[in-house]
Amino acid sequence: MTLKKEEGPFVLTREEAHVPSLEDLPPVAGRHVLVRADLNAPLRSKPGGGYEVADDFRLRSSVPTLQWLRSNGAIVTVCSHLGRPKGRVDPRYAMAPVREALTAMVPEITVMENLRFDPGEETNDPAFVRRLIDGFDYYVNDAFGACHRNHASIVGPPAHMPSAAGRLLHREVEVLYGILIDPARPFVAVVGGAKVADKLGVLRSLGQRVDHLLLGGAMCFTFLAALGHEVGASRVESELFGEARSLLGLHPPPELPSDLIALSPEGELGSSTDPTGAVRPFELDLLPGWQGVDIGPATCASFAEVIAGARTILWNGPMGVFEDARFAMGTRAIAEAVASCPGFSVVGGGETTAALHEFGLEGNIDHISTGGGATLELLEKGDLPGLAALRASRATQGS
C-alpha cells in the first residue's frame, strides 16, 4: 500500500484501506478454515479448582464470524493467544476454560491450544507458520487487537492461502479508517490515561486531524508542568517537556483542564477514612505534595460543551482515577457527554471501556473498539502488520 504525504499526516484512500471480507473468500463449504480470534479473556479461579472465563466479551465478539463460517458449511478451527506464557507451556494459560465457553456459544468448532506456548508465535518463525496452517484451506483474521503484532498467526497464513478479515476486524477497519480518512466535522478527540509516552504518536496524528483535542488524566500534568504550572506530587514525565510544548504549538492547540481535583499528602487512593480536607478542588496550580487525581467541574462542563457539538467523537483514556468513586466525576462526565453526543462516537481502550461498563453507558456508543494498542497504532501510523498481510493476500484469492 502506498501512503500519500500531504501537509500534516499521511492520507489513505478508502481503496487502499480496504481488506478482503468473508464474502471475498472462495466457497467455504466443506473447507477447513483457520480463524485467528482474540480470545485473550480474563480468567478466575473456580471454587472446585481450575479456571473459568471471568468476562466473555471477547468470546462473544468472535461469534458472528464463526457462525457465518459454520452456516456456510466450513470446518472451523480457532486459534488465539491467552496471557503471556513466554513461549512455554504454562497450565495457568491453557485454553480449556476458553474452549469450554466458546464451544457452548458456537458448537462444532475446534479450539487450538494457546499459540504462545510455542516461541515461534511471537518470533514469527516460518516453521511454526507451516505447522500452524498445515491442513487448512483458508484463513480468517478476526483478532484486530493483535493486528499490530508481527506474530506468526497474524502475518504468516495470508502469504500461503486465501485470507479474509472476519466480521469484527472488518468493522474495526471500516470505523477507524472512516474517522481517519473522512470524518464528519467537527471531529473531537478526548485523550486521557496515565502516560504521555504511550500516546505521543497518536497525539501528534490526532492533533493534525481533529478540530478539538481535549486532554485529561494523569498525562495532562506533563503538559501543565511544561507550561510552568505547579503540579505538586502529580505524575510528570519531565523528559517529555519538549514534546509537550511542541504539541501545544499545534493549531488548534490541545485543550487542557482549567481546574483539577487533588488528593492531599495525607490522603490515600481507595480510602474511605481520609482526614477532613484530604480531597479538594484547585484551579491549576497545586500545593506541594498534593496529587492531581481528576479534572474539575469547570473542565467537565467545558469539555462536555465541546463534545456536544461534535459530529465525530473519539475517546481514549479516563480523565482520572475513576476506580475510586471520589475521583470518578471527570470520567463519568465525559462518558455521559460522549454517550449523549448526536455525532458518531468511537471509544477505545480497556480502562475507557471498563468505565463505560461501570456507568452503564455501553449501549449509547456507536462503536467500542476492541483494539487497545492496535487502535492507537492504527490511528498513529495508518496501518498495521495484520491488515497489510490481508491486503497482500488478495493475490492468492481463488487460487
**pLDDT per residue rounded down to tens, the chain (399 residues):** 333 334 445 556 778 889 999 999 999 999 999 999 999 999 999 988 889 999 898 999 999 999 999 999 999 999 999 999 999 999 999 999 999 999 999 999 999 999 999 999 999 999 999 999 999 999 999 999 999 999 999 999 999 999 999 999 999 999 999 999 989 999 999 999 989 998 999 999 999 999 999 999 999 999 999 999 999 999 999 999 999 999 999 888 999 999 999 999 999 888 777 888 899 999 989 999 999 999 999 999 999 999 999 999 999 999 999 999 999 999 999 999 999 999 999 999 889 998 999 999 999 999 999 888 899 999 999 999 999 999 998 645 544
Those residues whose C-beta lies under 8 Å from the C-beta of residue 296, and which sit 6 or more positions away, are 257, 258, 259, 260, 261, 281, 282, 330
Compute the C-alpha angle 107/110/111, nearest 5°.
110
Q: How far apart are CA 223 and CA 226, in angstroms?
A: 5
DSSP 3-state of 79 = strand
pLDDT digits over 360-379, tens only? Answer: 999 999 999 988 889 999 99
Residue of 297, 284, 317 whose CA lies nearest to 213: 317
CATH class as words, domain 185-342: alpha beta
Pick the CATH number of 14-165+385-394 from 3.10.50.30, 3.40.50.1260, 2.30.38.10, 3.30.420.40: 3.40.50.1260
Q: Where are the beta strands (DSSP E) in 265-351?
A: 279-282, 291-295, 312-316, 344-348
Joined together, the cell numbers standing for residue 79 give 486459534
Q: How far apart are CA 59 and CA 103, in angstroms?
A: 10
Q: How far apart are CA 82 and CA 96, in angstroms?
A: 11
pLDDT digits over 69-107, tens only? Answer: 999 999 999 999 999 999 999 999 999 999 999 999 999
Joined together, the cell numbers standing for residue 256 give 487542557
Residue of 73, 59, 90, 96 whose CA lies nearest to 22: 73
Extents of the domains making up the chain? 14-165+385-394, 185-342
pLDDT digits over 298-328, tens only? Answer: 999 999 999 999 999 999 999 999 999 999 9
Predicted TM-score of the model (pTM): 0.89
Do 185-342 and 14-165+385-394 have the same topology in CATH? Answer: yes
CB 378 within 8 A of CB 149: no
